[in-house]
Amino acid sequence: MEVVNTVGRRKAAVARVFVKPGKGQITINRKSLEDYFPLEILQFEVKQPLMVTETLGSYDVTINLDGGGIKGQAEAARMGIARALCEVNAEYRPVLKKNGFLTRDPREVERKKPGQPGARRKFQFSKR
Protein backbone atom coordinates (compact mmCIF):
# COMPACT_ATOMS: atom_id res chain seq x y z
CA MET A 1 0.00 0.00 0.00
CA GLU A 2 1.30 3.45 -0.91
CA VAL A 3 0.30 6.78 0.64
CA VAL A 4 -3.46 7.46 0.82
CA ASN A 5 -4.49 11.12 0.50
CA THR A 6 -7.85 12.51 1.76
CA VAL A 7 -9.43 15.78 2.89
CA GLY A 8 -11.46 16.52 6.03
CA ARG A 9 -13.38 19.73 6.72
CA ARG A 10 -15.13 21.34 9.68
CA LYS A 11 -16.28 24.98 9.92
CA ALA A 12 -13.45 26.98 8.31
CA ALA A 13 -10.78 24.31 8.94
CA VAL A 14 -9.37 22.11 6.18
CA ALA A 15 -7.20 19.06 6.87
CA ARG A 16 -5.21 17.31 4.15
CA VAL A 17 -4.40 13.85 5.48
CA PHE A 18 -1.73 11.41 4.24
CA VAL A 19 -1.81 7.87 5.67
CA LYS A 20 0.85 5.22 5.07
CA PRO A 21 1.86 2.02 6.89
CA GLY A 22 4.19 2.71 9.80
CA LYS A 23 4.61 2.80 13.56
CA GLY A 24 1.66 5.04 14.50
CA GLN A 25 3.33 8.46 14.31
CA ILE A 26 0.95 11.43 13.88
CA THR A 27 2.49 14.65 12.50
CA ILE A 28 0.52 17.88 12.08
CA ASN A 29 2.10 20.81 10.19
CA ARG A 30 5.55 19.28 10.80
CA LYS A 31 4.95 19.10 14.58
CA SER A 32 4.05 16.11 16.71
CA LEU A 33 0.42 15.66 17.76
CA GLU A 34 1.27 16.54 21.39
CA ASP A 35 3.02 19.78 20.36
CA TYR A 36 0.29 20.92 17.96
CA PHE A 37 -2.67 20.01 20.21
CA PRO A 38 -1.51 20.38 23.84
CA LEU A 39 -5.03 19.64 25.14
CA GLU A 40 -5.58 15.96 25.88
CA ILE A 41 -9.21 16.01 24.62
CA LEU A 42 -8.17 17.30 21.17
CA GLN A 43 -5.44 14.64 20.91
CA PHE A 44 -8.07 12.02 21.77
CA GLU A 45 -10.43 13.45 19.13
CA VAL A 46 -7.78 13.17 16.39
CA LYS A 47 -6.95 9.57 17.40
CA GLN A 48 -10.60 8.41 17.63
CA PRO A 49 -10.89 6.80 14.14
CA LEU A 50 -7.64 4.87 14.74
CA MET A 51 -8.81 3.72 18.18
CA VAL A 52 -12.23 2.60 16.97
CA THR A 53 -10.72 0.55 14.12
CA GLU A 54 -7.92 -0.74 16.41
CA THR A 55 -5.16 0.49 14.06
CA LEU A 56 -3.49 2.99 16.41
CA GLY A 57 0.07 1.66 16.00
CA SER A 58 -0.03 0.50 12.38
CA TYR A 59 -0.24 3.71 10.30
CA ASP A 60 1.83 6.90 10.09
CA VAL A 61 -0.42 9.94 9.63
CA THR A 62 0.75 13.29 8.24
CA ILE A 63 -1.74 16.16 8.33
CA ASN A 64 -1.60 19.66 6.83
CA LEU A 65 -4.09 21.84 8.75
CA ASP A 66 -5.27 25.26 7.64
CA GLY A 67 -7.94 27.73 8.81
CA GLY A 68 -10.43 27.70 11.65
CA GLY A 69 -9.82 27.28 15.37
CA ILE A 70 -8.32 24.40 17.33
CA LYS A 71 -11.60 22.52 17.82
CA GLY A 72 -12.56 22.77 14.13
CA GLN A 73 -9.06 21.71 13.11
CA ALA A 74 -9.16 18.65 15.38
CA GLU A 75 -12.54 17.57 13.98
CA ALA A 76 -11.37 18.18 10.40
CA ALA A 77 -8.32 15.98 11.07
CA ARG A 78 -10.56 13.29 12.56
CA MET A 79 -12.75 13.26 9.46
CA GLY A 80 -9.73 13.13 7.13
CA ILE A 81 -8.22 10.18 9.02
CA ALA A 82 -11.56 8.35 8.96
CA ARG A 83 -11.89 8.86 5.18
CA ALA A 84 -8.32 7.63 4.65
CA LEU A 85 -8.95 4.49 6.71
CA CYS A 86 -12.00 3.76 4.54
CA GLU A 87 -9.80 3.90 1.44
CA VAL A 88 -7.18 1.66 3.08
CA ASN A 89 -9.70 -1.00 4.12
CA ALA A 90 -13.41 -0.94 3.22
CA GLU A 91 -14.23 -3.12 6.26
CA TYR A 92 -13.64 -0.11 8.55
CA ARG A 93 -16.45 1.90 6.93
CA PRO A 94 -19.46 0.57 8.96
CA VAL A 95 -17.67 1.16 12.28
CA LEU A 96 -16.55 4.68 11.33
CA LYS A 97 -19.97 5.57 9.93
CA LYS A 98 -21.72 4.31 13.09
CA ASN A 99 -19.53 6.61 15.21
CA GLY A 100 -20.27 9.57 12.92
CA PHE A 101 -16.70 10.19 11.75
CA LEU A 102 -17.59 10.17 8.03
CA THR A 103 -20.41 12.73 8.25
CA ARG A 104 -19.46 16.32 7.38
CA ASP A 105 -20.87 18.66 10.04
CA PRO A 106 -22.58 21.34 7.90
CA ARG A 107 -22.89 24.00 10.63
CA GLU A 108 -21.13 27.21 9.61
CA VAL A 109 -21.06 30.71 11.10
CA GLU A 110 -23.98 32.76 9.81
CA ARG A 111 -22.97 35.96 8.06
CA LYS A 112 -23.43 39.39 9.61
CA LYS A 113 -26.36 41.32 8.12
CA PRO A 114 -26.28 45.05 7.25
CA GLY A 115 -27.97 47.35 9.77
CA GLN A 116 -27.37 44.87 12.60
CA PRO A 117 -24.46 44.39 15.00
CA GLY A 118 -24.32 40.63 14.32
CA ALA A 119 -25.98 37.84 12.37
CA ARG A 120 -29.27 37.94 14.29
CA ARG A 121 -28.78 40.50 17.04
CA LYS A 122 -30.52 43.84 16.49
CA PHE A 123 -29.58 47.23 17.84
CA GLN A 124 -31.52 48.18 20.98
CA PHE A 125 -34.99 49.49 20.09
CA SER A 126 -35.95 52.89 21.49
CA LYS A 127 -39.59 53.93 21.31
CA ARG A 128 -38.84 57.60 22.17
- For residue range 100-116, list pLDDT tens digits in order: 999 999 999 999 999 99
| Domain-embedded: residue 83 | yes
Please give the residue range of the domain that contains residue 74: 4-98
- Residue 34 included in any domain: yes
> What's the pLDDT score for residue 115?
95
Beta bridge partners of 65: 15
The C-alpha angle with vertex 86 and arms to 46 and 54, in degrees rounded to 5, equals: 55
User: Is the CB of residue 61 less than 8 Å from the CB of residue 26?
Assistant: yes
DSSP 33: H
14 in a structural domain: yes
87 in a domain, yes or no?
yes
> What pTM, to 2 d.p., does this model score?
0.91
Task: Answer whether residue 79 is part of any domain.
Answer: yes
pLDDT tens per residue, range 56-106: 989 999 999 999 999 999 999 999 999 999 999 999 999 999 999 999 999
Read off the pLDDT of residues 15-49 as tens digits, 9 standing for 90 and up.
999 999 999 999 999 999 999 999 999 999 999 99
Asked whether residue 120 is assigned to any structural domain, the reply reads: no
CATH of residue 47's domain is: 3.30.230.10
Q: Specify the pLDDT at position 119.
A: 96
Asked if 88 and 82 touch (Cβ cutoff 8 Å), the reply is: no
DSSP string, 62-106: EEEEESS-HHHHHHHHHHHHHHHHHHH-GGGHHHHHHTTSSS---
Q: Does residue 114 fall inside a structural domain?
A: no
Domain total for the chain? 1
Maximum pairwise Cα distance, the chain: 73
Residue 105 lies in a domain: no
| Percent of the chain predicted with pLDDT > 90 | 96
